[in-house]
Amino acid sequence: MKNSRSDAYAASGVDITAGYQAVKLMKEHVARTTTEGVMSDVGGFGGLFAPDMKGVEEPVLVSGTDGVGTKLKLAFLMDKHDTIGIDCVAMCVNDIICCGAKPLFFLDYIACGKNYPERIAQIVSGVAEGCVQSGAALIGGETAEMPGFYDEEEYDLAGFAVGMADKSKMLDKSSVKAGDVIIALPSSGVHSNGFSLVRKVFDVENADLKAPVDRLDGASLGETLLTPTKIYVKPVLALMDKVQVKSVAHITGGGFYENIPRSLPEGLSAKIKKEDVRVLPIFDYLAEAGDISEHDMFNTFNMGVGMICVIDAEDAYEAISCLGENGEDAYILGEIVEGSEGVILW
């Protein structure tokens, strides 16, 4: 690419040589994610991956795509760009694990007003970390410099993941029955949902995001809100090897009321005691600062529960033990009951 430079294109605001530099800087991060099936290097026209089919009788590909949303505004304000990529990966792989699929590979898309190679590399370092945490390979992506469309200091980030499951072992919510228990896997914070409301409540553009906050145990509001979304892939896969996991729900935008019913068949509901929910301090702080009703909080945020698994009651002890061995302080959140309410919070 020695001769690849366009003065005319640069005059319009697009520096293609900055793109080459960004790719060069990100290669060390991408290399961390290499798994056995990777067949290509970054820079080609397509990412190549050869899945291992041994022991898989009827393979099913499961895909997921998502972005980070307006949480990116916090990254801009804090000038911290090395963790937001974890959120991007998490929002995709946490969805496909709900089907019982193991993530295989990931691709990212970064659109920016101006390509600062070092910043792009920081973003990709977070994407790579998310891939490592989920066992997925980062096999490609795209960086688009779009002057006039994005502000020079801003960017957008989205991703796409593909996983694979054996059809006979995919999670089937039709097996859920009354009397089953709901296991909660704690969240790391607000994760990547509801940030339009968060930003409004805390007026983040004018707030001191780096000052310690007593309500947050001395942490700053900025670092608390930027805490990356937890990735649940490896603990849930380990749990699936130990007990029959009947269904899984990723608690994203829409909170308890929207997401938990998606993991249940018709005629069954989730019964949960409010006092059993281990609500994180950031949610109490947010509810008070914004005068947000309890219903709206549980209908917008994860409230400290990032994922739930539904299992047979007799497997509860073994499930919690297994999740503990895999770094999750899991607990029984509630039970499945007959009814059409979807979620019963009492």
Residue type at position 298 = F
Q: Residue 5: its pLDDT value, please?
A: 67
Determine which of 44-53, 115-124, 138-147, 218-227 has the lowest per-residue pLDDT on average. Answer: 44-53
Q: Residue 4: its pLDDT value, please?
A: 67
> Is the predicted pLDDT of residue 15 greater than 90, yes or no?
no
> Is the predicted pLDDT of residue 2 greater than 70, yes or no?
no
Contacting residues for 275 by C-beta, under 8 A, at least 6 apart:
none
Distance CA 13, CA 115 (A): 10
Distance CA 204, CA 210 (A): 11
Rounded to an integer, the average pLDDT of 178-195 is 98
Distance CA 227, CA 83 (A): 8
Selection from 234, 229, 230 nearest residue 103 by Cα: 234
Q: Residue 42: its pLDDT value, please?
A: 72
Contacting residues for 16 by C-beta, under 8 A, at least 6 apart:
4, 5, 6, 9, 10
Q: Residue 25: its pLDDT value, please?
A: 84
pLDDT bin (cut points 50, 70, 90) of residue 101 is very high
Contacting residues for 198 by C-beta, under 8 A, at least 6 apart:
190, 204, 225, 286
> Is the predicted pLDDT of residue 44 greater than 80, yes or no?
no
> Which is higher by pLDDT, 14 or 314?
314
Q: From its phi and psi, is residue 342 left (phi > 0), alpha (psi between -120 and 50) or beta? A: left
Which tokens sit at 84? 């937001």
**Tens of pLDDT along 292-309?**
999 999 999 999 999 999
Rounded to an integer, the average pLDDT of 124-139 is 97
Q: From its phi and psi, is residue 267 left (phi > 0), alpha (psi between -120 and 50) or beta? A: left
What is the pLDDT of the chain when averaged over all its residues?
A: 94
Burial string for 103-131 (b: 16+ CB within 10 Å, else e) reads bbbbbbbbbbbbbbbebbbbbbbbbbbbb
> Is the predicted pLDDT of residue 124 greater than 90, yes or no?
yes
pLDDT bin (cut points 50, 70, 90) of residue 61 is very high
pLDDT bin (cut points 50, 70, 90) of residue 85 is very high
> Is the predicted pLDDT of residue 30 greater than 90, yes or no?
no
The C-alpha R_g of the chain, in whole angstroms, comes to 21
Q: Residue 23: its pLDDT value, please?
A: 82
Q: Residue 231: its pLDDT value, please?
A: 98
Rounded to an integer, the average pLDDT of 218-238 is 98
Q: Residue 26: its pLDDT value, please?
A: 82
Half-sphere exposure for 280 (CA within 13 Å, toward CB):
21
Share above pLDDT 90 across residues of the chain, in percent, rounded to a whole number: 86
**Tens of pLDDT along 132-144?**
999 999 999 999 9
Helices (H) and strands (E) in the chain, counts: 12, 10
H/E element, 95: helix 84-96
DSSP state, residue 202: H
Q: Residue 3: its pLDDT value, please?
A: 67
**Tens of pLDDT along 265-293?**
999 999 999 999 999 999 999 999 999 99
What's the whole-model pTM score?
0.94
> Is the predicted pLDDT of residue 211 greater than 80, yes or no?
yes
pLDDT bin (cut points 50, 70, 90) of residue 9 is low
Share above pLDDT 70 across residues of the chain, in percent, rounded to a whole number: 98
Distance CA 113, CA 197 (A): 25
Distance CA 306, CA 74 (A): 20
